[in-house]
Every structure is written in structure tokens, then in C-alpha cells.
Amino acid sequence: MIIDIHGHYTTEPQALHRFRDQQLAGLADAGRKPKSADLGITDEELVKSVEPQLRFQKERGSDLTIFSPRASGMGHHVGNEAIGREWCRVSNDLVHRICTLLPENFAAVGQLPQFPGAPIDNCIPELERIVGELGFVGVNLNPDPSGGYWKSPPLTDRSWYPIYEKMCELEVPAMIHVTGSCNPAVHFTGAHYINGDTTAFMQLLQGDLFKDFPTLKFVIPHGGGAVPFHWGRYRGIAQDMKKPLLEEHLLRNVFFDTCVYHLPGIELMARVVPVDNILFASEMLGAVKGIDPRTGHHYDDTKRYLDQVNQLGEDARWKIFEGNARRVYPRLDRQLAKRGHPGRKTA
Amino acid sequence: MIIDIHGHYTTEPQALHRFRDQQLAGLADAGRKPKSADLGITDEELVKSVEPQLRFQKERGSDLTIFSPRASGMGHHVGNEAIGREWCRVSNDLVHRICTLLPENFAAVGQLPQFPGAPIDNCIPELERIVGELGFVGVNLNPDPSGGYWKSPPLTDRSWYPIYEKMCELEVPAMIHVTGSCNPAVHFTGAHYINGDTTAFMQLLQGDLFKDFPTLKFVIPHGGGAVPFHWGRYRGIAQDMKKPLLEEHLLRNVFFDTCVYHLPGIELMARVVPVDNILFASEMLGAVKGIDPRTGHHYDDTKRYLDQVNQLGEDARWKIFEGNARRVYPRLDRQLAKRGHPGRKTA
């Protein structure tokens, strides 16, 4: 089974965008607020909206996509906290419906109603709802709800602890994923996303968070930002800071996805990052939509790159494509087992 | 000849730190301002202070280091603009003295008295002074003088144009280098530096700056941040934005140094970045000071990694170690020729 752990609902129906426009228009003119959070989207429309994803799954050879609302759409810095909470709920509910309609193809990950300066505690009810009531298997956590200005304390700060306690209790990992940037100096997919990954990794390196939360799990997307390319730098900085080796200090808790859109990048990852820490992902229909004229294939068809990394043996491939995902997302593993897809016994 | 294009004066005498302390203490208590900008450092002390650099040059096999004030010391966000201007001048003057004392070992690059919100025009007199009067061959330009909050417009904004006009007139390139971070979420060498590189590259990708300044040259340090690791992402984003190929769009004007502290990272660079755009650099005695226990060598001994990249032929090596530096820093090339080190004729 091939599990793609990083997909966003980037083919959402226009009705969702209309709702968001009305929400934000309502800030300026209360008469324009949406009348209802019922978007009137039918199941048929939802299934139709993810046909591109289903086609790519078939064409590229993946089975299941871990699916969350559009990352840039989370917009934690936009509007106010109440509007954000409603938006979050509506966005999560749509993802839930898709995953319920197509359980063999999608497993749900949610967004949180984070808001700049608001305590993370305010996100706990939504986390409990999506995991406890809706069966979500993970959550996206934004280390910079200010949208490109980095006004929150680092992820190792105690102010974040309430969400970590709840994540551990519920056995869900977080993908550390920023949302859009409202900073004109920082492009969202070309700078903010990658910087977010790099910054989060460095925050974790500086701290000792996993002493307090030994079972907490984070996935850093986009191949870990700059981290694998600068693996020697991070090993050396950790050493200068008298931290343990990265393997002991971070790698029981921190994982990287494979959203790196060329073969040399994927080869580098496979060389420097331990195989237990690499999870297959493509973020298809996301940041880069084109076809690479050098290969004739989509840039974001990352399975092709992995298939070309010759030094990966069968066991390593199984870990990257399935085993690690089942380990990092234990609720997904149990859902799959219940539906007749048991995992492999590991040594 | 082996030219290391990225070195900072990180072994500065304590007298410089005392001066800075007094400067900043003077903000709170005017009576504590430094009495004079003459630090009383002798030539002998200066030469002694760079013995570590001279020893590494000999041991590692480089000849000349392009040398600028400590990057994190620039502190553009610290104090006020007048204090920053004095600090900049003192810092540049020390580098100038070292390069005058040891011209075979060091060539000078300066810092600018940038200050958050102040027009870049205010930096032109110092740029004219260091290049015109002191013989500097380049300059460091900070894309984020706010120190980790990214409050300036992107480098493609017209507000930056006055410094570009002067750089082109004077024939000096800029290394795009942030300074320390005053943002507790963003570690300086582990996040801000690398994010600065990535962000600057993306700003340039989004814009069309080099249509207006076809001879302007930027060096992006630390291997270009995350860029080579995500080369496919950037090629794809440029394509989605209907920009020309990166080669035409940016690579006549944008260069990357080799401050990447492990062999796989350097190998990746050599595979994806055209050889004409790679300049040898180590930033020795900088961000990572330790010895890698896996190799028994310093992480920042980047020449060793390049020497192990087998696919680089003799001509490519000459470009990376010398030729590209002479092309990007034409004033250095002329200084070297005058001192009896003519460059190689290129095809």
C-alpha cells in the first residue's frame, strides 16, 4: 500500500470560496455575513471535486492520501478569532465528508483555529472534535500564525504545551505547516513554507521538547525545508550547543516528508536522513502544478524520484511508502486494519 | 589560486566589543558613550587576531579570503541609525587595516549602515568610501534590517534601486547576508541566515530586477539556503509564474557560495547549479566551529568536500575556486593582476 501523507484540498468547490468571501466581507459590512455555515455542497459535487486527486493516485500509483484543508487557505492571521473558528470548522467538515465518502482514498487531517496572540488552548475543542468525533488521524500546526512575521514564541515554549498534551493523549501527530504569508517580502510557497520548515526544525534543535513529550510526533513537510541540504550544519550546530546527536535528540519524534520536486533532492534526503524518518508525500495539485520539460512528468510526482533511488532496498521502500506512516499516524494504522488492510509486522 | 569568498572577522579583538558595549550603554546613559572611535588596536594585534584564519588557509589549502565584518555583529536593527553608522565605519576600518596589512591573504568586503525603515540612500556615502577610498571589492547587503521580522519591501522594490545603481557604477557585487536575529522564534545561524538566502532568491525569482540592472551581481551565501535542495520547486514555480528559465531569468546575476557543511550537500549543488554560478567559500570560524566526528575534519572545511566531487573537471574546479570569483568581483581581479596574479584567459 502506498500512502501519500501530504495532500491538501486544493480543488475545493467555489461555494467554499464564496463562503469565505462573505465571512470576510462581513467584517466590513455585517449585512454581508454568510447566512449559514451550510454551504449546500452535495456529496456528488464533493466526489467530483477530487477527481483530479483520484486520477493522479491511479496514474502515479499511490493508494491513500492523507488529506487536509488547503494550507494557504487556513489563513490564521486573517479576520478575527471567531471568524477563524467558524472557517476552520467548515474547512474540516468538508475534508471529513470527502474522507467518509472515499475512505479507501483519503484519510483526514485537520486545521486548527489558531489566531495570532490567542492561547493555543482555544484550539483544543476543535482538535477533540475532529479526532474524537470525526476520526481525523492528525492535525496541521502552524508555528507562525502571524503569517510571515514570526511573532509567536518557538514551538518549544511552554505556551504550546496544552496542544501537545492533547495530541499525545489522542495519539495524533502534527504536520508543522504554515499558512499563506501576509508579508510582502516573503512569498508563500517559495519562501514562507520552506522557511517555516527550517525554522521549526531549528527551534526543536535548540530546545529539549521531547524530554517533556517523548511520544509527541511532528512531520516537517517539504523535505524538511533546508534541513537535509544543510544536514552537516545542523549536526555541527547541535554539537556546538552540546546537544545529543540528532538521532537521539530529535529523530525519534521528528519526521520529514518527500515533497522535494527533483531527483537530486530526493537522493540527498535518502542519503542523509535515516530511512525511519522519511515519509512519502507529494502535495499533489499544490505548490507546483506544472510538468517538468526535462522529464515530461509533473514536478510533484515524487514517487517517480523515489522509484529511481537505487540504494533503497525493499524494506526501506516499504517504510517510506507505508510503514513509517502507519507508525507516525497510529490512528490511521488502526483504521486501515479495521478495513482489512493490516500492517506488516515489524522487527 | 584558491579564493574563499566568504569569511567574516569573527576573531576580532576585545577592544571592538568594548567599543560596541559603550556605544549601546550610551543609549541608556550618555556618560557611557565611547570617548573616541579610535580603538587603540595596534597593527600587531590585528595581525595576531587573524592567525587562526592564516593557519586554516595554509592547512586547508586556500590562498585568499574575501573578508568582511562579523555578519551577526552588523546588528542593523540595534540602537539607532547614527550609532549604526559609526559602528559600520569602525567595523569596516578594522577590516580595511587587516587587508592592507595582509594583502596576499585578505580582500575586503564591507557592511552598510542599513537601519530599519531608513532609506537605503543613506548607505551610499559609506559604500563610496569603502570602495573608492579603501579599495573594498564588494559589500554585504541585508534584505531584512529588522533582524528577523522581514519588515522591508522585497529586494526587487524600487526603494532599493539607489544602492544598485551605485553598486553597478562601482562594479561591486553584494553578498545578500542578514545579520543577527532579534526574533526569539528565529535562530540566527540555524534559521535566519538560511531563510534569508531562500527568501532573497524567491524575491528575485518573483521580480524582474535584472532587466533594470543587467550588470548587478548578487552572491547568495550558505549554498543558496534551501534553493539547490528545492531546485525543482523553484524551476516549477518560475514556470507556473511564466518566468523565463532560471538560467536566463536569474543566473547571469545570481551566484551561490559553497558554505554547505557536508559532502552530500556539496554534491547536490554541483549537480543542479551550473558551474559558472558556484563560488568556493567556507565561512571558516563562523557558524559551525566543530570537528565532524564522522570525518575527523572541521565541518566548515568545504574545500575537502569539493575535492571529493569527482565529476568536476579541471576547468570547473578553476571556475569554482578562482575564475568565478574574479568575474563576480572584478575589482578583486584587477587588484590581483596588479600584484602579479593575472587571471586565466577564458574562452
Tell me: the pLDDT tens digits for B121-178? 999 999 999 999 999 999 999 999 999 999 999 999 999 999 999 999 999 999 999 9
Q: What distances in angstroms separate CA A249 from CA A201, A211, A221, A343, B118, one per listed residue?
A: 12, 9, 19, 28, 42
Q: Is the pLDDT of residue B19 over 90?
A: yes
- Partners of B237 on chain A (C-beta within 8 Å) are 189-190, 287-288
Nearest C-alpha neighbor of B149 from the set B199, B113, B110: B199
Q: How far from chain centre, in Å, is Cα A97?
A: 19
* Closest CA in chain B for residue A157: B185
d(CA A316, CA A318): 5
pLDDT at B63: 98
| Average pLDDT value for residue range B246-251 | 98
Show which residues of A are catalytic. 283
Digit-coded pLDDT (tens) for A245-273: 999 999 999 999 999 999 999 999 999 99
CB contact under 8 A, A185 and B150: yes
For A265, the enclosing helix (H) or strand (E) is: helix A263-272
Pick among A158, A178, A229 to test the B interface (most B CBs inside 10 A)? A229
- State how far residue A178 is from chain B, nearest Cα, in angstroms: 14
Tell me, what amino acid is at B56?
F
Phi, psi of B75 (to 5 degrees): 50, 50
Describe chain A by its helix, strand, coil percentages, rounded to 5: 50, 10, 40
Q: Is the pLDDT of residue B95 over 80?
A: yes
Q: In chain A, what percentage of residues exceed pLDDT 70?
A: 99
- Kindly report each contact of residues A313-318 with a partner whose C-beta sits within 8 Å and lies 24 or more positions away, as own/partner: A316/A275, A318/A344
Tell me, what amino acid is at B245?
L
pLDDT at B57: 98
Q: From the list A234, A235, A287, which residue is nearest B233 (CB)?
A: A287
Q: What distances in angstroms separate CA A11 from CA A112, A133, A285, B275, one per listed residue?
A: 20, 25, 8, 40
Pick among A194, A246, A301, A311 to test the B interface (most B CBs inside 10 A)? A194
pLDDT at B276: 98
For A99, the enclosing helix (H) or strand (E) is: helix A81-101
Q: From the list A264, A289, A299, which residue is nearest B272 (CB)?
A: A264
CB contact under 8 A, B287 and A203: no
CB contact under 8 A, B202 and A222: no
CATH number of B3-338: 3.20.20.140
d(CA A321, CA A323): 7
pLDDT at B324: 98
Digit-coded pLDDT (tens) for B64-79: 999 999 999 999 999 9
* Bridge partner residues of A297 (DSSP): A292
Q: Is the pLDDT of residue A346 over 70?
A: no
- Partners of A144 on chain B (C-beta within 8 Å) are 185
| Average pLDDT value for residue range A296-320 | 98
Residue whose cell numbers read 518573483: B206
Contact status, residue A210 vs residue A216, Cβ threshold 8 Å: yes
- Partners of A271 on chain B (C-beta within 8 Å) are 264
Q: Which residues of A225-250 are buried (b: 16+ CB within 10 A; e: fewer)?
A: bbbbbbbbbbbbbbbeeebeebeebb
Nearest C-alpha neighbor of A192 from the set A177, A175, A214: A177
- State how far residue B308 is from chain A, nearest Cα, in angstroms: 16
The average confidence (pLDDT) of chain A is: 97
Q: From the list A194, A203, A232, which residue is nearest B292 (CB)?
A: A232
Q: From the list B186, B226, B271, which residue is nearest A264 (CB)?
A: B271
The average confidence (pLDDT) of chain B is: 97
Q: From the list A231, A261, A264, which residue is nearest B233 (CB)?
A: A261
- State how far residue A57 is from chain B, nearest Cα, in angstroms: 21
Q: Is the pLDDT of residue A347 over 60?
A: no
pLDDT at A76: 98
Question: pTM (2 decimals)?
Answer: 0.98
Digit-coded pLDDT (tens) for A203-260: 999 999 999 999 999 999 999 999 999 999 999 999 999 999 999 999 999 999 999 9
CB contact under 8 A, A150 and B186: yes
* Closest CA in chain A for residue B263: A232
Q: What distances in angstroms separate CA B305 from CA B59, B61, B98, one per listed residue?
A: 15, 13, 29
N-to-C CA span, chain A: 19
> In residues, how long is chain A?
347
A-B interface: how many C-beta pairs under 8 angstroms?
A: 194
> Do β-strands A254-257 and A218-220 pair in parallel, antiparallel, or remain unpaired?
parallel
Q: Is the pLDDT of residue A40 over 60?
A: yes
Can you state the angle between helices B231-240 and A263-272, rounded to 10 degrees? Answer: 150
d(CA B142, CA B83): 17
The three-state secondary structure class of A206 is helix
CB contact under 8 A, B191 and A194: no
Confidence class of residue A345 from pLDDT cuts 50, 70 and 90?
confident
d(CA A208, CA A198): 17
- Partners of A300 on chain B (C-beta within 8 Å) are 236
pLDDT at B183: 98
pLDDT at B346: 62
* Closest CA in chain A for residue B225: A226
Show which residues of B are catalytic. 283
Q: In chain B, what percentage of residues exceed pLDDT 90?
A: 99
Q: Is the pLDDT of residue A172 over 90?
A: yes
Q: Is the pLDDT of residue B242 over 80?
A: yes
d(CA A249, CA A228): 16
pLDDT at B28: 96
CB contact under 8 A, B198 and A194: yes
Digit-coded pLDDT (tens) for B40-72: 999 999 999 999 999 999 999 999 999 999 999
- State how far residue B75 is from chain A, nearest Cα, in angstroms: 19
Q: Is the pLDDT of residue B345 over 80?
A: no
Q: What distances in angstroms separate CA B82 from CA B36, B37, B72, B89, B151, one per listed residue?
A: 15, 13, 19, 11, 20
pLDDT at A174: 99
Digit-coded pLDDT (tens) for B109-125: 999 999 999 999 999 99
